[in-house]
Amino acid sequence: MGQIKDKTKLMQLNDADISSFYENGILFFPGLLDPNDIMQLRAELDEILDLDRPEILREKHSNRVRCAFAPHTYSKNYYQLMQHPSIVGPVRQLLGGDIYLHQFSINPKAAFVGEAWGWHQDYATWQIENKIAHPELINVGVFLDEVTEFNGPLFFILGSHKQGVIRPEIDAESTSYVLLGVDNNAITNLSRDHGLFSPKGPPGSVWMFHSNLVHASNANLSATRRALCTICYNRVDNLPKEHPRAEWEAHSDFTPIL
Ligand SMILES: O=C(O)CCC(=O)C(=O)O
């Protein structure tokens, strides 16, 4: 993958991409990354999912991995993915300045037993727990496996980021990973006015979404795994004021990438 040292080598979004991001809260690039890079990441995945580390979280009803946080701290390939020019360039553009890594997780959603994620907005947690003042964070998804309609793809409510933080409710019941969820009444109202979008595509596909965009995903009942990385970047002038979460869940190395 190679590290980036030169800002001129970063991928740049065009004006239509940027307008679409502000309108919908998400951009999707099917097959953006080089298949050879994705093969290297996939080659390490089974080994990572076998690790016994505190930052590897399990599903509620099986012992399978739900989230493997912070793989970049021990894997060179995942470290380089976090600095990939086709990711860092657009995120810097969308956030309008220097960025650092706030959170990085592999969500493997195992075949048959990978569990759902209820409706939520990522920024709600970061605002309430980390006292991050502005929703100037972007969550990037990188598909490690093909994502289909059958293996637990995400659903996004287009344009929902414009609502700001919607009365978060703690969801500690449905899965092992406690979420600040959005309740069904709010989802019903949002669904009346906004379309749903569920990106599907080959390994190497990438999305970038606004941290207030409402999203969820179903369980994986299919026979194929649905592994993807979620990599979240924050702007360096929007730092957390409190640090109640583990280092692997909310990083405190604010060194700008590049
Ligand atoms: O991996 C999934 O299916 C959902 C992940 C998610 O919603 C998140 O990381 O905020």
Could you give the CA distance from residue 35 to residue 31 in angstroms, rounded to a whole number? 8
Q: Whose CA is nearest to atom 10 of ligand 1?
A: 122
Task: Please tell me the pTM assigned to this model.
Answer: 0.95
Tens-place pLDDT, residues 79-109: 999 999 999 999 999 999 999 999 999 999 9
Q: Does 214 sit in the ligand 1 pocket, CB within 6 Å? A: no
How confident is the model at residue 82, as a pLDDT?
97
| Domain extent listing, the chain | 12-235
C-alpha to C-alpha distance for 158 and 37, rounded to whole angstroms: 30
Residue-wise pLDDT tens digits, 154-188: 999 999 999 999 977 887 777 777 778 899 999 99
pLDDT tens track for 50-75: 999 999 999 999 999 999 999 999 99
Tell me which of 1.10.645.10, 2.60.120.620, 1.10.357.10, 3.40.640.10 is the CATH number of domain 12-235. 2.60.120.620
State the pLDDT confidence band at 2, using cuts at 50, 70 and 90: low
DSSP state of 73: G
Confirm or reject: Cβ of 218 under 6 Å from ligand 1.
no
